Amino acid sequence: MNIPGTKPLTVLGIETSCDETAAAVVRGLPPGPGAILSNVVFSQSEAHAPYGGVVPEIASRAHLELLDDIIERAMAEARLDWRDLDAIAATAGPGLIGGVMVGLTTAKALALGAGKKLVAVNHLAGHALTARLTDGVEFPFLLLLVSGGHCQLLAVEGADRFRLYGTTMDDAAGEAFDKVAKLLGLGYPGGPQVEIHAARGNPRAYALPRPLLGRPSASAGAVDFSFSGLKTAMRQLAQDQTVRIDDACASFQAAVIDILRDRTAKAMGMFRDHFPDTASPTLVIAGGVAANRAIGTALAALAADQNFQIRVPPARLCTDNGAMIAWAGLERLALGNSDPLVIGPKARWPLSNSV
């Protein structure tokens, strides 16, 4: 007989909310760590590169063409049969609605056909909970979520309990990297390109604005982000024929680091106030931008300074993937949650309201 809550759960996860078509199988139990039995990710970035950004119509068509094969490969690599699964999880939002519909509809069909539970997963919860899949990080923890679509600081109190400390008023951090890369004529996706050039440049070469820096901690929106002023300054810089690309990238990245460091430091103070009993608090960095080593190094130094532990999942689990969706589905399943087949996709789906 299986004692509830002690038998590891096995979940297939499907991710189609942006330009990665991905499926993975994970096994484990909260708080983790879990085992990644397979993790197949196909990046469509080549198809979108000529446009310098993701084209929703191209993305949803590609998901439709690719997804069946990706799922078959994920199941084969995990050496599992459908009956070995406890549930099928899929991103149900937020994201590009056409892609989300492809993944969620496929998950519904599989759940119905295989007689398995369906778990609709919030993509942001997937990023948020990845550090439990990889490191078994206990609740509560402070999360800096920095991706192409989001830039937020949150307290993660449970698999479906989040407190929003701050968010972006305009662009996401990754979006700013992508736009700057486009302005400077670098490839897409821009983040990795900017990082490579930044490593060869002088971060003090160009004076750039750091929007909202130095706002008092107690003021409303003290932990909010804004990148539009920085982006405008970069547009002007890019128009200068004599601009040095490496120096421009290094100066831009240094500004982003200052902004992220300032807001994260303030959020650390809020987290300590909210959770005074957490003896050794943890900062988790998640989302595609967490793959940036210079950002990781700067935040690791901040964490050491503020007596926070830091966890950054490996780069392949920071960018969009199926394992994070499978794990977030597994966490909900372990709480006794699953979803009816009538559940709909959501283009917008915030994790929580602000504190």
Per CB under 6 A, residues contacting ligand KG4 are: 18, 147-149, 174-175, 177-178, 189-192, 195, 287-289, 291-292, 319-320
- Considering the complex, what minimum distance in angstroms separates the CB of residue 65 from ligand KG4? 20
> Is the Cβ–Cβ distance between 154 and 145 less than 8 Å?
yes
- Considering the complex, what minimum distance in angstroms separates the CB of residue 108 from Zn ion? 22
- Considering the complex, what minimum distance in angstroms separates the CB of residue 122 from Zn ion? 11
CA distance 208 to 223: 20
Amino acid at 190: G
- Specify the residue, 123 or 163, whose C-beta has the smaller distance to ligand KG4: 123
Checking 334-337 for CB contacts under 8 A at 24+ apart, the result is 334/5, 334/9, 334/29, 334/30, 334/159, 335/159, 335/160, 337/119, 337/160
247 binds Zn ion (CB under 5 A): no
15 binds Zn ion (CB under 5 A): no
Dump strand ranges (E) for 64-123: 87-93, 117-122
- Considering the complex, what minimum distance in angstroms separates the CB of residue 145 from ligand KG4? 9
- The closest of 311, 354, 349, 14 to 149, measured between CA atoms, is 349
- 339, interface contact from ligand KG4, Zn ion, none, CB < 5-8 Å by kind: none
Sequence-distant (6+) residues with CB within 8 A of 191 are: 148, 174, 177, 178, 181, 288, 289, 291, 292
- Specify the residue, 225 or 308, whose C-beta has the smaller distance to Zn ion: 225
CA distance 157 to 162: 6
- Considering the complex, what minimum distance in angstroms separates the CB of residue 218 from ligand KG4? 31
- Specify the residue, 262 or 320, whose C-beta has the smaller distance to Zn ion: 320
251 binds Zn ion (CB under 5 A): no
| Token pair listed for 321 | 């993937």
CA distance 247 to 225: 24
- Considering the complex, what minimum distance in angstroms separates the CB of residue 84 from ligand KG4? 29
- List binders of Zn ion among 290-349 (CB under 5 A): 320
- Specify the residue, 254 or 324, whose C-beta has the smaller distance to Zn ion: 324
- 323, interface contact from ligand KG4, Zn ion, none, CB < 5-8 Å by kind: none
Amino acid at 345: P
Residue 186: left if φ>0, alpha if ψ -120 to 50, beta else—which one? Answer: beta
- Specify the residue, 254 or 334, whose C-beta has the smaller distance to ligand KG4: 254
- Specify the residue, 38 or 319, whose C-beta has the smaller distance to Zn ion: 319
Sign for the CA dihedral angle at 5, 38, 328, 273 comes to positive
- Considering the complex, what minimum distance in angstroms separates the CB of residue 330 from ligand KG4? 20
- Specify the residue, 75 or 255, whose C-beta has the smaller distance to ligand KG4: 255
147 binds Zn ion (CB under 5 A): yes
- 98, interface contact from Zn ion, ligand KG4, none, CB < 5-8 Å by kind: none
| Token pair listed for 306 | 């503020």
Kindly list the residues in this chain that would bind Zn ion in the complex (CB under 5 A): 147, 320
